[in-house]
Amino acid sequence: MTSPRVVVVGTGPAGVRAAQALVEAGVRPIVIDEGRRDGGQIYRRQPEGFTRTHATLYGSEAAKAQALHSDFDALRTQIDYRPETLAWNVTAGQLHTVHATSGETAALNFDALIVCAGATDRLMPVPGWNQAGCYSLGAAQIALKAQACAIGSRVVFMGSGPLLYLVAAQYLKAGATVEALLDTSPAMPTLNALRGLLHRPRLLLRGLALMASLRLGGVKLMHAVAPLRIDGTPDGGVSGVVVRDARGAERAFACDAVGLGWHLRAETQLADLARCEFAFEPLSRQWLPRIDDCGRSSTPGVYFAGDGARILGADGAEAAGRLAALAALHDVDHARGRSLFAAEQTALTRTLATMNGFREGLARAFRWPHEQAAALPNDAVVCRCEAVTAGELRRSVFELGSQEVNRAKAFSRVGMGRCQGRYCAHAAAEIVAAAASVPVELVGRLRGQAPVKPLLMSAQEHE
Amino acid sequence: MNKPSLQPGSGGRFVRLAETARAAVHLSIDGAPVTALEGDTLLVALLTHGRRVRSSEFGDGTRAGFCLMGACQDCWVWDEAGHRLRACSTAVVDGMRVRTTPPASLWPVTPEVAARERGEVFR
């Protein structure tokens, strides 16, 4: 047969390993990358002309980052690499892309589409989070990694999850002033959480070492806090953070920047557009594309790997990317792909099972504090894009009878702004569910729409 | 040649921690001359000199970007021709002229643009 047409979206750990597996099998994939350089977010590469070493940039993960970058460099002549390109829609057997600066569009026919779209920070609104100087944790890390900048001269990090500690430690090491680290999760994980975390004991130890380094560096570390508000002015932006501590006392921290994040949410828009089925994941309380052990979705020819489908982290993404690519080749009856798949499937799925055990531990230890969404005061902004408040969203439930998030979106515009719901959808679902007194899985999820990010109206697709 | 200050409190929101030996790049932001460094994003050029990128069209104050990875679209600015630029994912180029409000010739004219055209501060 002729070589199958395979398109990979994303060049983070999953996308790079998927592309590499395809090349090994003798296939030349098209690789779509929204970034200017490969690496994705976690192994994001600094621009040409920057001189910091991999060890400085990626710490304990330097060797993995280096390997991923050099392996991708080695693939460059054997793939059709398209950086600065957005995959904005999927139709039957076709992926639609547009180049960021030239506006050039393409409709790519595929036999297999391997989506490695990654994740963004998962955000819980805090009153005042719409002020200048509030950033996602990922943003704080990108400022440092890709631009050698801190987001402010005195920074508070608040939220929960491994990234909270990692970014704070990276800031401290780079010479930034970290005023406080405020975790909404308790200091001691439950037994169930620990059992999960012990799937990767070395990673657990590394996490504990991070916490110790922060304490040693003089960072105020607080657990089990309830965020009350982010103080500041409309003109000047952020000036402080106020939380309630575990004993019920109010604590205020002065700062000029806040990094916020509660672990990650998957970028699932392409799954929606490809009409893939979704399933509710009760531990993390988010909807994810339903995939089998190898990354196959419910839509034939469409595969998912990495944090865009399961939040397994970078190591899990590398294994999932390779496995999804090999499964795709197996499914199109590609001889070399079939034999690689047969040889590696068992080991790769075993690796992913270990990663998933650890993921469950993380989700339990750093839980999504959904009750905070339900408790948000009515005047708190939920949609940053258009400054829509929790009160307006609740009105769509109480007065307009919205018990489903897409309906609530139509009435309140929460989820309709420029970020297309990326930073409000999860909290909005919790607010609607609490107001309607139904479990969050019953209020549904905001459907992804094309284009998955805003396009210029002048963008034209030619046949 | 003006080197951007490394000290906090010098007017910028972002603080440079390293990589300051890069070549200077000259651009203008709302008509004012600004010196950035080669490899900077437009967002870093804006926020090492000021504390805001733009004002919210919805009246809730200034904005300074949020996600830095092209997902939130909070950091849109414009070139003189009215082309929209996402500041976090646009590299600075020598001679670039950037405005933090769209030209009023663009449709639609949002309230904060109209206020600015009248010389008022939008609240």
ipTM of the modeled complex: 0.95
Chain A residues in contact with B88 by the CB 8 A cut-off are 142
Strand partners, A232: A238
- Band (B5; pLDDT cuts 50, 70, 90): very low
Chain-chain contact of B71 with A148 (C-beta, under 8 angstroms): no
A239 to chain B, closest Cα gap in Å: 12
Could you tell me which of A222, A130, A129 has the C-alpha nearest to residue A184? A222
CA distance A120 to A135: 12
| Chain centroid to CA B45 | 7
pLDDT of residue B3: 37
- pLDDT value at A101 more than 60: yes
Chain B residues in contact with A235 by the CB 8 A cut-off are 61-62
Mean pLDDT, residues B53-82 = 94
What is the tens place of the pLDDT at every residue in A345-376?
999 999 999 999 999 999 999 999 999 999 99
Is B10 or A436 the better-scoring residue by pLDDT?
A436
Q: Is the pTM of this model over 0.90?
A: yes
**What is the dihedral sign for C-alpha B47, B50, B56, B62?**
positive
% of chain B residues with pLDDT over 90? 67
% of chain B residues with pLDDT over 70? 82
Axis crossing angle, helix A390-398 with helix A425-436, rounded to the nearest 10: 40
- Band (B119; pLDDT cuts 50, 70, 90): confident
CA distance A27 to A10: 17
CA distance A207 to B68: 25
The count of CB pairs under 8 A between chains A and B is 157
CA distance A390 to A378: 5
Q: Which residue in A147, A385, A386 is closest to B41 by CB distance?
A: A147
pLDDT of residue A379: 97
pLDDT of residue B109: 64
- Band (B1; pLDDT cuts 50, 70, 90): very low
Q: What is the mean pLDDT of chain A?
A: 95
- Band (A462; pLDDT cuts 50, 70, 90): low
Chain A residues in contact with B123 by the CB 8 A cut-off are 234
What is the tens place of the pLDDT at every residue in B29-41?
999 999 999 999 9
- Band (B6; pLDDT cuts 50, 70, 90): very low
A70 to chain B, closest Cα gap in Å: 21
Q: Which residue in A35, A121, A387 is closest to B60 by CB distance?
A: A387
- pLDDT value at A241 more than 60: yes
